Amino acid sequence: MTIAAETEVRRAPRPRADALRNRERIVTAAREMFVEYGPEAPLDEIARRAGIGNATLYRHFADRHALVHDVVLSVLARTADQAERAAAEEAVPFAALRRFVHAAAGERIGALCPMLSGTVDTRSLDLDAERIRLESAVEGLMERARQAGQLRTDVAVGDLMVALSQLTRPLPGTGCLNMDGYIHRHLELFLDGLAAPGRSELTGKAATLEDLRRAAP
């Protein structure tokens, strides 16, 4: 980098701490509202839940598409972080996988599905980078458990992501405030089905990530 370029970088204004906090509050509130009511949740209600005014919301996000983009990016990044931490901190491979699955449920990853079907440009470079990081981390968790003989060999990462999305995706507008307890209970049943040795023969073939991409609209 040249001296002139370095000087320009130093002169570039940095977001104020309160502006960054407002942006984080907006994204958090939007994620909660999208989970409860779907991606068409009213923006003024998102602003109210975030504790800021409508003008502040639009100062950070020009339109709904920009806000949905940041929500999806945040969920992908946080979920990828959870997968990487589970791999680094859990000595038992299947325990790492179990920890990730429950952490991903806490991130409400199932709420991404309706937003990825047309609301968000999935070709965005930053979204693509986080998606690749997440997929790589999850594949690593599953391969480690498989090599240890703790994960059945007839399942693939696509099977895990489909089930995780379905089990963590509440019906919009139902107001299921106590749903978390059922989500984690049912995830335990699902995880028992993933453990080796498998107790039944699965129909069809294991779903890969490429299969899911081909099936996407």
CA distance 76 to 137: 12
Choice among 41-55, 76-90, 140-154, 198-212 with the minimum mean pLDDT: 198-212
Within 8 A by CB and 6+ apart from 34, the residues are: 41, 68, 71, 111, 115
Burial class (CB in 10 A: 0-12, 13-18, 19+), 159: buried
Within 8 A by CB and 6+ apart from 17, the residues are: none
Kindly write down the DSSP assignment for every residue of 2-24, as one continuous string. Answer: -HHHHHHHHHSPPPPHHHHHHHH
Confidence of residue 60 (pLDDT cuts 50, 70, 90): very high
pLDDT per position as a tens digit, 132-189:
999 999 999 999 999 999 999 999 998 998 888 888 776 555 555 566 667 888 889 9
201-206 contacts, C-beta under 8 A, 24 or more apart: 201/154, 202/154, 202/155, 206/154, 206/155, 206/156, 206/158, 206/159
Does 17 score more than 90 pLDDT?
no
pTM score of the predicted model: 0.79
* Residue labelled with tokens 């901190």: 89
The tokens describing 202, both together, are 């699965």
Q: Which residues of 20-40 are buried (b: 16+ CB within 10 A; e: fewer)?
A: eebbebbbebbbbbbbbbebe
Choice among 57-71, 109-123, 130-144, 175-189 with the minimum mean pLDDT: 109-123
195: helix, strand or coil = strand
CA pseudo-torsion sign 87, 90, 96, 101 = negative
CB 122 within 8 A of CB 173: no
